Amino acid sequence: MPRDHSHFWTEFGTFGSLDWKGNQVDEGTYEIIDDDTLVMPYGFDQGPPIPVEFRYRIRGDTLVLDPVIPSDCSTKHFLEAALWSVSVAYPGETWERVS
């Protein structure tokens, strides 16, 4: 049965995305750096990954993410990282714990 696109974060610092068929389409890591900020690297096949910051809030079983868009998106890689951060966060939406 089809499902919505989803993301997951584990207690071990692993991040991933599942498409509407349940296939993993994104994988990576994250690190909580303070009470309201986490960093996830946006990787490339060529060159070092770009650390992308997100502000986060957890209330009960609900997670809210807001990407921190860098002021300089003048290179293709930084622009891709900024666009990716928006697609991960879905600003204005919430993520609900399901298990």
Q: Which two tokens stand for residue 2?
A: 């089809």
What single DSSP character describes residue 20? T
Q: Give the pLDDT of residue 19.
A: 86
Structural contact between residues 70 and 82, judged by C-beta atoms closer than 8 angstroms: yes
Can you tell me the mean pLDDT for 23-42?
91
This prediction has a pTM of 0.83
Structural contact between residues 48 and 59, judged by C-beta atoms closer than 8 angstroms: no
Which among 9, 86, 19, 8 has a CA at the least distance from the CA of 54? Answer: 86
Q: Give the pLDDT of residue 13.
A: 92
Token match 């622009």: residue? 79
d(CA 7, CA 26): 9
